[in-house]
Amino acid sequence: MFTKKEWIHFVIIVLVVGFALGFNDGADEFVIGAWLLNLLIVTIMVAISLFLYQWAQKTVAKVNGFITEFKIWGVDTFHWGLWWGIMLKKEKDLPKTFKFFGREITIKSVPIGIFLSIIVTLVTNGHLFWLGLTNYDLMIKRSKRLGRKFVNVTGYDEAKIALAGPMTCVVLMIVFGLLNAQGMFTKMIMINTWLAVFNMIPFFQFDGGKVWNGSRVLYVFSAVFIAAIAILVHFLDFMPLLIVSVILALTAAIIFFVKRYVEDK
């Protein structure tokens, strides 16, 4: 399911996210052994969460006749423009090839998410963090798309695939919230909360941006649903949690739909 290149990117992202979320262990006094143990535990939890996150996206993509290639989020241009409020590339600055000690090296993109994550973590001593590090490319398996109304990828197709990741975090939040009577899984809930929140940022290369571009109503529903789960999972049992979150999400989606598509006509 994962290629060698994807595994390399996965390990790098797990280490960076684990560092960001585990850097501040919340202790009053720094003890190297305790700090390293906390960092290790958090990194393992991040690895489990991110693996399931990517597995869900790959599974939904496969069901819909696509293949996803997981990669580190990077930028290939520093020239941007706005068109109808959407940020678009004006021109690409990368890839560029240069020689280093006689060997050709090609830089396809700058992994700005990794730099941001490390800098924010160190500057704020782990009190703040940046987790927008992942991205994926979507490729079509045409043989699996035969007989469908649209052979090529649609915005809604990509929205479903992108949303599978954050919704996996929601499932993990709920499951570990139910098992968290003794506070053993508080870190796991926190990790999946922030992974879902950051990846739902409606920037066009993030999963949230892909959901937003595919279906604005679906984005509003899912964003409110995720936020409600993240907050209420600490206070409500499963059924009340699900019911209240769905009601809030549906209300927000209906209001958005009416304001955007009904009143504007």
Cα 219 to Cα 96, 111, 144, 209, 253, distances in angstroms: 35, 26, 27, 9, 8
pLDDT digit string, tens, across residues 64-79: 888 889 988 887 665 5
pLDDT digit string, tens, across residues 231-255: 999 888 889 999 999 999 999 999 9
Q: What pLDDT, on a 0 to 100 scale, did the predictor assign at position 234? A: 87
Residue 89 pLDDT exceeds 60: no
pLDDT band at 142 (very low <50, low <70, confident <90, very high): low
Q: What pLDDT, on a 0 to 100 scale, did the predictor assign at position 85? A: 44
Q: What pLDDT, on a 0 to 100 scale, did the predictor assign at position 93? A: 57
pLDDT digit string, tens, across residues 179-234: 887 888 999 999 999 999 999 998 868 899 999 999 999 999 999 999 999 999 98
Rounded mean pLDDT of the chain? 86
Residues in the chain, overall count: 265
Residue 151 pLDDT exceeds 80: no
pLDDT band at 84 (very low <50, low <70, confident <90, very high): very low
